[in-house]
Amino acid sequence: MVRIGMVNYINTAPIYEVWKERVRQPDWHVIEAPPSTLNRMLAADELDLGFVSSYEYAARPARYRILADLSISATGPVGSVFLFSMVPPAELQGRVVLLTGQSDTSVCLVRLVLEEFLGVAPAYVRGEVFGAHDGAEISAVLAIGDEALRLRQEDRYPFCLDLGEAWHRNTGLPFVFAVCAVREEFLAANADAARAVG
């Protein structure tokens, strides 16, 4: 059996739905989860391959190989990774920023954007975007995927910073949020199965 991790967000549906129709095999077990969960599962050998945060790949490059030329990336606005804020992001110095627990890459990216590009040092807390926040006065929220799309539609926050756009504006480069990676051990023993997935 091949254990495959897939990100379960609406913005991955164009990739995932086509993949399910064209290449899925009966002996494949697909686990749908947020990127941070898939990261932990691949690192713990609970998955053989799948979409994981580019952060996870960068943290353990010797353990994984990138499959195919498939990624979740953007050159400019990504449309599903946002910092929602009650104040302009450049004014978040010392204020509380809630970081989603669903992503590792976007957490690193928002810190880079705020600290390096905007020169502010907020106080960060990790938690659920739509959960209870223990009375903390949250000035901004990092949300990804379906939660980001929902918050954008609700229009609760006067400031909305697309992190793909902020990265591109400051670097001129595309940003890779997730890659399709396979564990090296699995690839060595199951090269044909790994290629069939990608």
The domain that holds 127 is classified in CATH as 3.40.190.10
Over residues 172-195, the pLDDT tens digits come to 999 999 898 999 999 999 888 887
Over residues 110-163, the pLDDT tens digits come to 999 999 999 999 999 998 888 755 556 999 999 999 899 999 999 889 999 999
> Exposed/middle/buried for 25, CB within 10 Å: 0-12, 13-18, 19+?
exposed
CB 116 within 8 A of CB 47: no
Residues 87 and 155 in one domain: yes
Q: What is the DSSP letter of 156?
A: -
Q: Which of 97, 117, 110, 121 is nearest to 161 (CA)?
A: 110
Residues 154 and 94 in one domain: yes
Predicted pLDDT at 135: 54
Structural domain for 52, as ranges: 2-75+175-197
pTM: 0.84
| Share of residues in the chain with pLDDT > 70 (%) | 95
